[in-house]
Structure 1
């Protein structure tokens, strides 16, 4: 485990923007999801960019939270277990989390959309 602020994937300075958007590892995952975040210059802008093109705010924020949560878990797998998770593994975990989280919604349309 590192005691500095260097990214475990590329040794860049790890901050929120780097971890979730500009790190080559994060960019690889966003590309895997077929999202281009080239115009996103700060983490707050990610919430406005709406990479999922979703009009329902509850669904949009749930999807984005899920992706960011799993990018964080991918980073922790690298830091704490020296594991390099594949994009497929991270995406599968996103899908599994969305299935789990969809049970918290009382609206059937939201549940259906989250588990697509």
Structure 2
């Protein structure tokens, strides 16, 4: 987070829930993925609500982790390089990460 706790995308107070779920930038990316997270009110709930509708917990965890990781990387691109990444850039990086992770996994996703 920045020293002033302001979100780099919308200037609201940045915390985990804001960064990953409630920030308009994050909401826009979730919507781009066609995933509804509007009912999520805390980070733990994200893991229980299953917005992916994926019954396999290992797959669900890998995908959610990947999405959160790439939202974080997008935030860092904004902070450290003043770059606004597009939804397609972020989703392409998610795809690449999941492909890489699937090759490292002993059991297939």
* CA RMSD in angstroms, aligned pairs only: 1.2
* CA distance, structure 1, for counterparts of residue 32 and residue 66 of structure 2: 15
Match of 2:77 in 1: 77
Match of 2:7 in 1: 7
Match of 1:28 in 2: 28
Deviation at 1:106, TM superposition (A): 2.1
Match of 2:105 in 1: 105
Instruction: Give CA-to-partner distance per residue, 1:23-65, whole Å, 9 cap, x none.
Output: 0000000000011111111111001111111111111100000
Aligned structure 1 segments of 4 or more residues deviating by more than 3 angstroms: none
1:19-98 correspondence to structure 2 within 5 Å: 19-98=19-98
TM-score by length of 1: 0.90
